[in-house]
Structure 1
Amino acid sequence: MDEVIQITKDIKSGNIKPIYFFMGEEPYYIDKLTEFIEDNVLQEHERDFNQTIIYGRDASIEDIVSTAKRFPMMADRQVVIVKEAQDLVKTIDKLESYIENPQPTTVLVFAYKYKTLDKRKKVTKLLAKNAVLFESKKLYENQVGDWIKRTLSGKGYSIEPKAAAMLVEFLGSDLSKISNELDKLKIILPKGHTFSPQDVEENIGISKDYNNFELRKAIGEKDQLKAYKIAEYFSQNPKDNPIVLTTGMVFGFFSQLLQYHGLKDKSKQNVASVLKVNPFFVKDYEVAFRNYPMKKVSIIIAVLRDIDVKSKGVGSNSIPQRDLLNEMLVKLFS
């Protein structure tokens, strides 16, 4: 994120490079940086004649280079943006000669999404030397909560840890989807507001009481009544609550709990660092630690592996989700 901020600062200050190559597994920042250049390098009245959008599937490298070598019309520079540039993967090496000698009055931008160039290739080394080469890396789910917090803080909002966890559970690590949902909340709620689980439930449609996060917590607390109520809700809404996701979340929790058992330093900050969780949630592991000895945790992990295999229909006929969830809870609480 610091690199993204620096790129935008440089452009705003007039330090504009002739080539920008944005690549990587996470499309969110690639799209944002491309949009920023599209909206900020040229003045509005200059764009009609000097801003060209090209799609990788519709053009060759030769077409792109030819366009990039044109001179601007009644402006200091032109902008050429190549969207979906990953479609040029087989011929991207042909860009080498242009990278070595780019047109100084052209800003050439590549949005190369979901992939990265081979860092051993000459074209990649040339881009690293002569252009702005930015790799947008996919965040792990345990990093997304902090990303949400930082993103909202920059816009004058904040969010409760549980509300952020609900968004991550429901949307995973797709930053574009999460950003869209946060935009909805920012439209509805005033600046300075702290987004709560209730806000998320009412405006995004994610239940604050019936979700995998709450199920995991109920299991950790050995709150059987609550766990069975959530499991029943999941059984009645299987499309919104697939058992594969549920077993994965619970399995992850007990795998981390096994790590927690082995820690000598069980301070909040160390646990959060080792388990890669928000410090707010460390208390859930403290409670589960008292309820589940290490030997029991090892048994539970084996049980969860078995339930996961059954849920995928391996080695057995199709078993209803309700039966599998109930079997899981019976074995966890026994």
Structure 2
Amino acid sequence: MVFDLWKQIKAKKFTPIFLLYGAESFLINETKQLLISNVLSEAEMDFNLSSYDLEETAIDLALEDAETLPFMGEKRLIFLHNPVFLTSEKTKEKVEHNLAKLESYIKEPSPFTIIVFIANYEKLDERKKLTKELKRSASILEAKKLNEGELKAWIKERAAANDVEIDDQAAEYMLTLAGTNLFLLTSEIDKLALYCGAGKRIDMNIVERLVSRSLEQNIFTLVDKIIHRKIDEALRIFYDLLKQNEEPIKILAIITGQFRLIYQVKELARKGYGQQQIAGYLKVHPFRVKLAAGQAQLFGEKELTYIMKLLAEADYQMKTSSMKKELLIEMFLFRLKDPI
């Protein structure tokens, strides 16, 4: 778990080799910054911090740097980006790497250097000997998308780092409002902590008043109003989005995407798929699947098919007719009042 590795770094318990891999770039960047601030002082950074792109530079040069004594400090910190030799992804080889030398280094790393492999790849090639050696020797962060429980833990940890607490309900509501993007969540938590002040508690009311709604969240709320046939409230949200200069074609696309997700979740659940399986199959975050599953229960299949037909017609007319785009969405919302 990412928090365990971060605690290790903050306690200045460093291994000579770190391996950060995965598609969640925020976690990798946070870990990278944490290493810099805990390994080196500001004065040492100019002399003992290096970064190499292994798509452009041979590993030999980086290893020579690793074996050079640090200047004016105890540790040298070296970041190795794009270690193409750890993945099965097809890349155009620009340089030749002396992997035998790297294997030898992993077995006997320099005691005064910390090497950090940064691999923004979904997966590593576990069949490769080098990958196995690294996984045995390195401190590892698998930067994958966090599940709902991990996201809530993330919110609580980030709040604690800002010397505030957050209620369980408030943490879940923040996810509903701000979504699952860690960059946005971190920004929102930091903002709430600044508002509350050290030692205070973030509750539902504070989240409701201060957390910014993403466009997707506003659309999610709009869809929720549609589901409960609160068309007047749905129209108010739509007009607010127009005042924020959101394009009608973009609004329609996100509405369509949300209803398509509801339809797919309902159909896959009917076939016996669990929410985690559905998330993997549709390649969306499990938290979005959970929310869509709740909405799907309020629709019959015939009703959902009808709504998808209306959305397809609105999309076609928006792209081919001269009718005002705003009017097409209004017409879609009004037609939902008709019995199906």
Pairing partner for 2:142 from 124, 135, 146:
135
Is contact 1:157–1:193 with CA below 8 Å preserved after alignment?
Answer: yes
The residue number in structure 2 matching 1:100 is: 104
Corresponding residue of 1:80: 78
The correspondence for 1:51, drawn from 42, 48, 51, is 48
Deviations 1:20-39 (CA, angstroms, capped at 9, x unpaired): 12122111111121122212
Q: What is residue 19 of structure 2 aligned with on the other side?
A: 21
> 2:20·2:140 contact (CA, 8 Å) conserved in 1?
yes
Root-mean-square deviation (CA, aligned residues, Å) is 4.2
Matching residue's letter, 1:216: V
d(CA) in 2 for partners of 1:214, 1:100: 56
Tell me, in whole angstroms, the C-alpha distance in 1 between the residues paired with 2:276 and 2:120.
32
For residues 242 and 128 of structure 2, what CA distance do their matches in structure 1 show? 51
Q: Does the 8 A contact of 1:86 with 1:115 survive in 2?
A: no
The partner residue of 1:298 within 294, 299, 305 is 305
Q: Which amino acid aligns with 1:86?
A: N
The answer to whether the 8 A contact 1:96-1:123 is kept is no
Q: 1:305 to 1:25 in 2, by over 3 A?
A: farther
Whether the 8 Å contact between 1:257 and 1:297 is mirrored in structure 2 is no
Could you tell me how far 1:76 is from its partner in structure 2? 4.7
Q: Distance in 2 between matches of 1:196 and 1:34?
A: 33
Indicate conservation of the 8 Å contact 1:220/1:284, yes or no: no
Partner of 2:126: 119
Please give the per-residue CA displacement for 1:135-160, whole angstroms capped at 9, x wherever unaligned: 211347x6786355444554433225
Deviations 1:51-88 (CA, angstroms, capped at 9, x unpaired): 21324287543321111111234655422234xx1386
The reply on whether 1:194 has 2:202 as its aligned counterpart is yes
Q: Count matched residues.
A: 310
Q: Equivalent residue for 1:176?
A: 183
- Whole-angstrom distance in 1 between the partners of 2:329 and 2:177: 21
In structure 2, stretches of 5+ residues that fail to align are 85-90, 280-285
Shift of 1:108: 0.8
3-state DSSP of counterpart to 1:119 = coil
In the alignment, what sits opposite 1:267?
Answer: none
Q: Would the alpha carbon gap of residues 32 and 122 (structure 1) be closer, same or farther in structure 2, given more than 3 Å must change? A: same
Could you tell me which amino acid in structure 1 is paired with residue 302 of structure 2?
K
SS in 2 for 1:16: coil
Alpha-carbon distance in structure 2 between the residues aligned to 1:109 and 1:73:
19
Does the aligned pair in 2 maintain the 1:228–1:329 contact within 8 Å? yes
Instruction: Kindly indicate whether the alpha-carbon contact (under 8 Å) linking 1:166 and 1:213 is maintained by their aligned counterparts in 2.
Output: no
* Superposition pairs of residues 1-334 of structure 1, within 5 angstroms: 2=1, 4-11=2-9, 15-42=13-40, 44=41, 47=44, 51-56=48-53, 59-73=57-71, 76-82=74-80, 85-86=81-82, 90=93, 91=95, 94-101=98-105, 102-113=109-120, 116-139=123-146, 146=152, 149-152=155-158, 154-155=160-161, 156-158=164-166, 159=170, 161-168=172-179, 173-190=180-197, 191-196=199-204, 199=207, 202=210, 205-206=212-213, 211-239=218-246, 242-243=250-251, 244-257=253-266, 262=270, 276-277=286-287, 285=295, 289=298, 292-307=299-314, 313=319, 316-317=320-321, 320-334=324-338
Q: 1:76 to 1:55 in 2, by over 3 A?
A: closer
In structure 1, what residue type is equivalent to 2:332?
A: M
- Cα distance in 2, alignment partners of residues 96 and 177 from structure 1: 42
Q: Which amino acid aligns with 2:102?
A: Y
Answer yes or no: is the 8 Å Cα contact 1:148–1:164 preserved in 2.
Answer: no
Provide the rounded CA distance (Å) in 2 between the counterparts of 1:189 and 1:330.
42
Which runs of 5 or more structure 1 residues have no equivalent in the other structure?
Answer: 265-269
Residues 145 and 165 of structure 1 are in contact (CA less than 8 Å); yes or no, is this contact kept in structure 2?
no
Instruction: Decide whether aligned partners of structure 1 residues 60 and 201 sit closer, same or farther in structure 2, where only a CA change above 3 A counts.
Output: farther
Once the two structures are superposed, residues 2-41 of structure 1 have per-residue CA deviations (whole angstroms, 9 ceiling, x without a partner) of: 2x22323444556532211212211111112112221223
What TM-score do the two structures reach when normalised by structure 1? 0.72
Q: Per the alignment, in what secondary structure is the counterpart of residue 110 of structure 1? A: strand
Superposition deviation, residue 112 in structure 1: 3.2
Q: Distance in 2 between matches of 1:144 and 1:247?
A: 29
| Partner secondary structure for residue 211 of structure 1 | helix
Counterpart contact for 1:21–1:131, Cα < 8 Å = yes
